[in-house]
Structure 1
Amino acid sequence: MSPVPELPGIGPRENLRDRIRAALRAAIISGELEPGVVYSAPVLGTQFGVSATPVREAMLDLVKEGLVVPQPNKGFRVTEVSEEDLDNLAAVRLLIEPRAVRESVCAIPEDDFPGLRRLAQDIVDAAERGDLVGYVEADHVFHLTLLGYSRNPVLVDVVSGLRARTRLLGLTPLLQSGRLGRSAAEHHELLDFIQARDPVGAELMMHRHIGHVRGLWAGGAEGAT
């Protein structure tokens, strides 16, 4: 088993299992929990400041999502995703998300923008702290909240699953180079188009954003899809 990375402590929440699951999912997507490595629930629990039980329960949830595989008497192994798989995931997201954002532009009430701005700022703040797990989790919340305005829960569930299977191993080099903050700012740029009621601009921005997910943020070339 590999040494466990520094993970954020878990504060009091109504559903501890859900909170830990979200943090673990973000750690896997960002690469803080490494593909192919086995992690034990007791060790992760120590990092979170909780017992092994909610961590084990959260990991079992992630087994159903295909993010980890149980290893008897050892823990859970983080699944590996091929480049072909990542290409396919990005291709499906490009078919769904830009159009969904375009169609949601006129559905978002003006009074909701301060809340959406706060969610976008959470991503920027995480980047400034160098918190990759927090970055991925905040990004997840922002985009699913935005897609919620499509009033299509099936679409939101599908995108949530696609995002969970994505890997963003290029975030660490971005953080080290100081470029993660500029990438985080894209979320405010997307909101600028939406708040200006520019569906075409919002769609194009979302297309560019997903291109970064598969390219720059995944550790590949700028703009690859």
Structure 2
Amino acid sequence: MSADGATVSLPSFRGRRNLRQEITETLRGAVISGEMTPGVVYSAPSLAEQFGVSPTPVREALLDLAKEGLVGVVRNKGFRVTALSPQELDDITELRALIEPPTVRRITEAGVPARAIKRLRPLAASIEKAAARRDFIAHVTIDMQFHLALLELAGNPRLVETVKTLRTSSRIYGLRRLPEGEVLFNSSHEHAELLDLIEAGDADGAEALMRRHIGHVRGIWSEEAPTNESD
């Protein structure tokens, strides 16, 4: 199935710096959030038209995502978003649960400087704002920024890179099917609650909240996994 004539909810990047990086991050968020549909073939020119830029940086961004396994190259057609099975999503969630909650506990027990908490709070607020306006791409993108910045406080770059890979590999298929209301907003508010617990030195509470937060990805958002379609 081709998406040459389809429309994805994408921002305009006319006149922006770091164009390739911004487009890559936006397309990554679109894939993870389900805004770009698994099995559909997207062409660089059609996406570039929606971004308001030339096809070159979009094609380069899609090639970056292909290296990450988020899309596959369809010769002479474009790029197809890859789908994950429920078992693959379960495996990713399990690995994240093994890494992130105990790391958050360790960070909390070690103590986090007030300036670090202060730097994270605007990201937490931005996640809530994105959820309130149902901007799923921004929500996913800022959410990743928040969690990776938090984990960086553990001082283990390899751990952060591992979690980034797992998060990048995730798919939140159920986001668009969430009804209007408080479900997404309540989950988004957990970021601010997590910072409150860390700031208070509540390691038990921070670890438990992080574990529950990860569970939302599988239990609330990642519902039915679409399947890839043939050429």
TM-score tier by shorter-chain length is over 0.9
Give the structure 2 partner of residue 131 of structure 1: 135
Give the structure 2 partner of residue 100 of structure 1: 103
Q: Secondary structure at the match of 2:38?
A: coil
Distance in 2 (alpha carbons) for counterparts of 1:152 and 1:194: 18
Gaps of 5+ in 2: 225-231
Give the structure 1 partner of residue 85 of structure 2: 82
Distance in 1 (alpha carbons) for counterparts of 2:78 and 2:20: 17
Distance in 2 (alpha carbons) for counterparts of 1:11 and 1:88: 39
Distance in 1 (alpha carbons) for counterparts of 2:15 and 2:204: 41
**Would you say the 8 A contact 2:14–2:52 is kept in 1?**
no
Is structure 2 residue 229 aligned with structure 1 residue 208? no
Q: TM-score, normalised by structure 1?
A: 0.93
Q: For residue 52 of structure 1, report the CA deviation from its aligned partner.
A: 0.6
**Would you say the 8 A contact 1:30–1:167 is kept in 2?**
yes
Is structure 2 residue 19 aligned with structure 1 residue 16? yes
Higher RCO (CA-CA < 8 Å; seq separation 6+): 2
Is structure 2 residue 76 aligned with structure 1 residue 73? yes
Distance in 2 (alpha carbons) for counterparts of 1:46 and 1:107: 48
Residues 1:211 and 1:11: Cα distance change in structure 2 (over 3 Å): farther
Q: For residue 13 of structure 1, report the CA deviation from its aligned partner.
A: 4.6
Letter in 1 for 2:61: A
Q: Secondary structure at the match of 2:117?
A: helix
Is structure 2 residue 166 aligned with structure 1 residue 171? no
Letter in 1 for 2:210: M
Gaps of 5+ in 1: 221-225
Distance in 1 (alpha carbons) for counterparts of 2:76 and 2:191: 42
Is structure 2 residue 63 aligned with structure 1 residue 50? no
Identity of aligned residues (%): 50
**Would you say the 8 A contact 1:4–1:39 is kept in 2?**
no
Give the structure 2 partner of residue 117 of structure 1: 121
Q: Secondary structure at the match of 1:35?
A: coil
Q: For residue 9 of structure 1, report the CA deviation from its aligned partner.
A: 2.0
